[in-house]
Chain A
Amino acid sequence: MALSQMGGSLAERRELRPEPIGPPLAKSALLHVLAVILLLGYALVHHFFHGNEWGSNDFQQGAIQATLVNSAAVPLPQEHPPTDNVLETQTPSEAPELPQPKAAPIPLPEAIPIPEKHATVKKAPKTSPRKPLPRQQPPPKLQNKANYGEAAPANLPKAATANPNASSTVQVAGGDFGSRYGWYVDVIKTKVAQNWLLPEVATSTPTGATVYVQFSVHRDGSTSGVRVATSSGYSSLDQSCLRAVQRVDTFGALPSGYNQSTLSVLYHCTYPGHQ
């Protein structure tokens, strides 16, 4: 009795003795440290050996692109859904038959049907021969338009346009400057690029760092409101891109067909790397 009691208390004591916490803790700490080292190492390796920046598209050209704020058209959903019957025929063809339903498995003779299951069995869909779908309503006929079954005229894509003047509330004309006066966009791109002096950028700037500079072009081609829209995080690059725009006295008069008083430009300078 006493022995068994003693034995029981020994077992209990063994049970109650705290588990060794040191080695697992050390292992866990080691694992965490390794994970941190791995992350840091990856970041370091990526920092020094990166190059093919995400989103950079024209490396050879000095990686400069002009993007006009006005022409950055954001397509909006159309008001009316497009018509389905793009090509409508007078004699619609019959729809192909549905695949034959699979034969129900023959129950084993000794199988006992389960009543609950029967209660939830859905009715099989009708297998009557399919009729051709009823013809859809043709679009309403226009008085002055030949109607031969084609779709209604597609809605012109609408666009949300950036406002060149912060003060004016609505801009009526669409922001199609870039498509109508592509040559002027090229002029802006070229002139700023020519005035962007790469030696001004600190050589520690990583390749592909990009700064966005915003400014307005007036009717006489002069600029105003030059400011950094999105900083690259590297002040020498930001400053060099700003100066490039500020060095330009004029881009030449805005095209006479453009009836706004100013044009907003978002210009990005992407550092092509130390040369």
Chain B
Amino acid sequence: MRKSKTDLSSLWRALLLILPLLFLSSLPVLAQDWVRTGTNLGAPKIRLAAASFNPASADPQTPALKTTFDTVFYNDLSNAGVFDMVSKSMAPPLMPANPQQINLAQWAAAPANAAMVAFGSIAVNNGRLQVYGWLYDAKNPGAPQILGKQYDQSASQENARVIAHQFADAIITRLGGGIPGIAETHIFYIASRGGDKEIGEMDYDGANAHPLTHLGTISLSPRVSPDNGRVAFSSLGRNGWAIRMYSLVLNRMVSFPNVGSNPFSPAWSSDGTHLAFSSSRTGDPEIYISDASGGNIKRITAFRGPDVSPTWNPKTNDQIAWCSGRTGLPQIYIMATDGTNVQRMTDGGYATSPSWSPNGQFLTFAWNRSYGPGAPGGEDIYIMDIASKRWTQLTHGEGRNDSPSWSPDGRHIVFQREDGHGSQIWTMLADGSDQQQISHGGGDSMPNWSWK
């Protein structure tokens, strides 16, 4: 018996020795430093270098066009949101004109560290602007070519911009996974000039801003059709508010029937066959759907309280998000296009101006979460994942932000911001970064990003 006792105690001693060893074996893992970046970004942005294009002709127009081209091209790639651009100061001071002249190792080495290089030549010959562009994979010298493009247009500043946009979009489409770039898209907006509010149009980067309509009245909420053929908006005429159409093909107003009393905020379905809008035929504003020609009007909401600002789910066209005041302050709701399956999305505050993301996954809207007497702050732009109703705040109190609109690639949002200097149009990436003011006029508001 005594012997077995000593056996037991020696066993316990051995166990006591082994247990700390057990824990020690797992301790080094705990002591490791773990650094995680991003939320679920998963993969880093592509490091892209845009070489200065080689001026390949002695025409006196070349340097000016080359400067425009280089600047626009670099900005387009930088704005795309999918590239980590090599700063011009870090790129090798070279202008390779063609694949024979490029030394990929130079671009792949520090400090440029480029994974991709876009380069080429620009020339003016007999009044024609000719651009050859290549995209090379600097890390794969065995088979480096990804893209080779050739452009030929009449020589002008405008065409230098167009070619830069086109080549940048080709690169973004290739490396961005098949989603076309937005460098050739436009933004429609309300330009407030001298008491009137007219429809304006500008390039996505704010260049070429010009008014479209000259109605001499107040127009609101422009919405361009998916084929870029028409702009629908609500406008104050002799008989009150009406939905009106401006044809971008004919460059003039085209007729649209009267669809009811005080129709506001028309919205195109992504197939271009239907319009949704709000109208107060029955006393308070309700949501209606009509054909693109204004026929077959159907009412789809029937609640006390205003229902305004419809927007389609562009992925499926079988859902509509809108803004409803049925519980008091306006909130964002979604429903099927027959008016069923109503879900409230926001849980309080003052939420307006919904816009549905192209992939159908997100809503963006303006929201003042602490709305009320004496509450500080203003409206900010939020995005919400529809399935989970989780939201993220994108702007943080820099003025009053409203009227967000998705870009067709789903990576950008354009919105209006009112600060001490009036209302301006801004763009940002859909995660709230890279906010840029793109209009500098007086009162520009209610932007709407074109579909392509």
Contact = CB atoms under 8 A, between A and B. Distances in A.
Interface of A: 23, 26-27, 30-31, 34, 38, 41-42, 45-46, 49-52, 59-62, 64, 179-183, 186-194, 196-199, 221, 247-253, 255, 272-273, 275
B30 A252 contact: no
Given A27-B7, A183-B116, A252-B176, A194 B22 contact: no
Contact of A248 (B8, B23, B32, B177): B177
Contacts of A49: 26-27, 29-30
Given A49-B26, A186-B46, A62 B32 contact: no
Contact of B177 (A51, A191, A275): A191
A180 B142 contact: yes
Interface string B11-27: 10001001100110111
Given A189-B42, A251-B178, 6 more contacts: A27-B4, A49-B26, A186-B43, A198-B40, A250-B177, A273-B36
Given A23-B1, A186-B43, A179 B22 contact: no
B60 interface: no
A52 B27 CA distance: 11
Contacts of A180: 140, 142-143
B372 to A, nearest CB: 31
Nearest to B1: A23
A197 B177 contact: no
B42 A194 contact: yes
Given A51-B30, A60-B36, A62-B38, A252 B173 contact: yes
A46 B26 CA distance: 7
Given A248-B177, A252-B173, A197 B40 contact: yes
- Category for how many chain B residues contact A: 35 or more
Nearest to A41: B22
Contacts of A27: 4, 7-8
A93 to B, nearest CB: 40
B178 A23 contact: no
B39 to A, nearest CB: 7
- Point out which of B36, B42, B146 has the most chain A C-beta atoms below 10 A from its C-beta: B42
Given A62-B43, A187-B175, A272-B36, A199 B30 contact: no
B8 A252 contact: no
A36 to B, nearest CB: 13
A45 B42 contact: no
B237 to A, nearest CB: 41
A50 B29 contact: yes
Contacts of B38: 62
Contacts of A193: 40-43
A190 B29 contact: no
B307 interface: no
A252 B1 CA distance: 79
B369 interface: no
Contacts of B146: 183, 255
Contacts of B388: 199
A42 B24 CA distance: 11
A255 B135 CA distance: 13
Contact of A45 (B22, B143, B176): B22
Nearest to A182: B140
Contacts of B34: 51, 59
Given A26-B4, A27-B4, A64 B178 contact: no
B43 A30 contact: no
A188 B41 CA distance: 13
A64 B22 contact: no
B42 A61 contact: yes
Contacts of B179: 250, 252
Contacts of A179: 140, 142-143
B137 interface: yes
A189 B43 contact: yes
Contacts of A199: 388, 390
Interface string B118-153: 000000000000000000010110110010000000
A199 B173 CA distance: 29
B390 to A, nearest CB: 8
5 contacts: A52-B29, A60-B37, A64-B43, A183-B116, A192-B42
B44 interface: yes
A269 B142 CA distance: 29
Interface in B32-61: 32, 34-44, 46
Contacts of B361: 247
Nearest to B139: A182
A261 to B, nearest CB: 17
- Please provide the 10 A-B residue pairs with the shortest distance between their CB atoms, ordered closest to farther: A193-B42, A252-B178, A250-B178, A190-B43, A49-B26, A62-B42, A191-B177, A193-B43, A180-B143, A51-B29
A182 B44 CA distance: 15
A193 B41 CA distance: 6
A180 B137 CA distance: 10
B174 interface: yes
A64 B42 contact: yes
A48 to B, nearest CB: 8
B137 A31 contact: no
Contacts of B137: 182-183
Nearest to A194: B42
Contacts of A42: 22
A179 B139 CA distance: 10
A196 B42 contact: yes
